Amino acid sequence: MAEQHIEREHRVSGAREFIEKLSFGYNDDNTCSAISTAMALNYLSFRYKRDFVPEKWRSVKRRANIPGAALQVRADYPGTYSFHRFLVEECDMRAVSYGDKITVPFRHYLEKVSDIDRGIELKWTLFPKASTIKANIDADLPILITTTLAGELSWHTMVCYGYRENGGRMELLVHNGWYGHEYSAADPSDGEIYQTETWVKKGIATYGYYFSLN
């Protein structure tokens, strides 16, 4: 098979440290939207040194043991677990959420939590444009995407934090939000565990969600 030639590839600054190496919630109840929102807010907090997530709920570096259940995430990463469950249970970002079912609970989060920076907004659109995705990634603003019919990734919300182009075709770099040995690896530079890259066709992004900072 011929080697793929990539004309352009870009990802948000600090992607490995602030997304791939950090803990996240355990998705055993189809609450991928809450997990993805938490990941994006953590990235923006670390990248811009702003308190979009309270310190008690900040994600931390992943351990070598790979969680196989939500109870393991609660034991190993209590803050991460609590943030995920708060978005689900207190803000109503529940199973298979998309469109307003993500942006309205996001506003609930900003209203309910007192000790955070509220200078952030989240808006959604159908069929996000490639140019808008690229502009956000280039500006170090990860986006969220929700799929519809996309095989294993059907009706799934994920953080998108990079893109690549080849011959007019665009692929997106996403964090699938799933723990598992098949999605985990050790960084050869320091031995720390990180989430391996998942590239998907841009066309599976039915809904797009864009953050803006004030």
Number of Cβ atoms within 10 Å of the Cβ of 180: 12
**Token pair of 93, please?**
């970002």
Using alpha carbons, select from 16, 31, 8, 22 the residue that is nearest to residue 133: 8
The answer, as to whether pTM is greater than 0.85, is yes
**What pLDDT tens digit does each residue of the chain (214 aa) get?**
445 566 789 999 999 999 999 999 999 999 999 999 999 999 999 999 999 999 999 999 999 999 999 999 999 999 999 999 999 999 999 999 999 999 999 999 999 999 999 999 999 999 999 999 999 999 999 999 999 999 999 999 999 999 999 888 999 999 999 999 999 999 999 999 999 999 999 999 999 999 999 9
Sign of CA dihedral 105, 111, 113, 117: positive
Length of the chain: 214
Write down the architecture of domain 8-213 according to CATH. Alpha-Beta Complex (3.90)
Q: Domain-by-domain residue ranges, the chain?
A: 8-213
